[in-house]
Amino acid sequence: MDQLKDRIRREGRHLGRGILKVDSFLTHQVDLQLMQAAGKELAQHFAGAGATKVLAAEISGIAPAAFTALALGIPMIYARKVRPITMPARVYEETAPSHTKGTMVSLIVSPEFLTVGDRVLIIDDFLATGQTIAALARIVQASGASLVGIGSCIEKSFEGGRALLQPLNVDIHSLVVISRFNGNEVVFGDAG
């Protein structure tokens, strides 16, 4: 997605250790027009998957997931990091390491909104190590729903997330793939 690549080139900052700061348009301040275009492209790619729900991780995955779900005409669920008192006693919960926070985070989904008959498309802002998406996939599996695809805005292929997720045997699609950083320069690979 050329529009996303251009924003990464102009505003993205490599902070070292493989961390790409894209706070100005994706992970803190959100460019809704860019996310709408990203969601539309992801929805077009996964149109034939038969998804009935889109699942994302709180917070940064919500914008691309919401626009993907909107374009597909289906609901979006996001995994909460803190359990609110409004959730039922029994929930689906997994943990995953956060690359940017340096800690383990909880991902919590209410069984009210993820059921056996659902066909779930996971959408996230980044595919890096794949740990967060793998945790979401475990939640889908625990619910008895079917995982039908995984999409991301930005994939950092050098972190191995795609290889971690391959055993799930679903289509994995990223709008932009970063193959490496050369100092502050972002080196893009082929999207897939």
Q: Could you tell me the pTM of the whole model?
A: 0.96
Query: Which long-range contacts (C-beta less than 8 Å, at least 24 apart) are formed by 83-90?
Result: 83/108, 88/112
| Predicted local confidence at residue 126, as pLDDT | 96
Per-residue pLDDT tens over the stretch 43-65 = 999 999 999 999 999 989 999 99
The share of the chain scoring above pLDDT 90, in percent, equals 84
| Predicted local confidence at residue 183, as pLDDT | 86
pLDDT, mean of residues 75-93: 90
Q: Which class is domain 2-189?
A: alpha beta
Residue 183: left if φ>0, alpha if ψ -120 to 50, beta else—which one? Answer: left
- Residue 169, pLDDT > 80, answer yes
